[in-house]
Amino acid sequence: MTYYCAIKKEGDEYIAQFPDMTNIVTCGFSYEEALAMAKEALDGCMEADISQGNAIPPPVCKDGCPVTVAPHIALSLRLRELRGERSQTDIARKMGLSYQSYQRLENPRKANPTVKTLERIARGVYGRELRISL
């Protein structure tokens, strides 16, 4: 998952903003530093928003510098997307997990699933094969 960042020079600083994530603005003293700060801000903000149950706007803007979301955050978002309107309790029951165990999988601050757990989710709940591309 990739969001695009607009970086512009203002005085001695470079200001970085995400058109799709209007709550994120950061800066750096160089273009590279502003880009690194933008990555950190994007991951931190998304992690906090997901943990609090806030909606995350999908990436739409394609102008600027691409910034890839950390894998653990993208996984949490993808699990929520796949779950759709089904409850976490419903999915947990299908997997033979407690509600709290499944809930942790959708929380990027707490999730650390094994590949076997991801395979179980893909096959057992969604009827899909787990595909990993590096």
| Domains of the chain, each with CATH number or no CATH | 2-68 (3.30.160.250), 71-125 (1.10.260)
The candidate with the shortest Cα–Cα distance to 16, out of 49, 65, 56, is 65
Q: What is the pLDDT of residue 133?
A: 65
Is residue 104's pLDDT more than 90?
Answer: no
Instruction: Provide, rounded to the nearest whole percent, the portion of the chain with pLDDT above 70.
Output: 97
The mean per-residue pLDDT over the stretch 75-104 comes to 87
Report CA 53 to chain centroid distance, whole Å. 12
Is residue 12's pLDDT more than 90?
Answer: yes
pTM score, whole prediction = 0.80
Q: How far is CA 16 from CA 6, 36, 68, 92, 108, in A?
A: 6, 10, 15, 39, 24
* Chain mean pLDDT for the chain: 88
Q: Of 19-23, 65-69, 102-106, 120-124, which gets the smallest average pLDDT?
A: 120-124
Is residue 134's pLDDT more than 70?
Answer: no
CA distance 67 to 83: 26
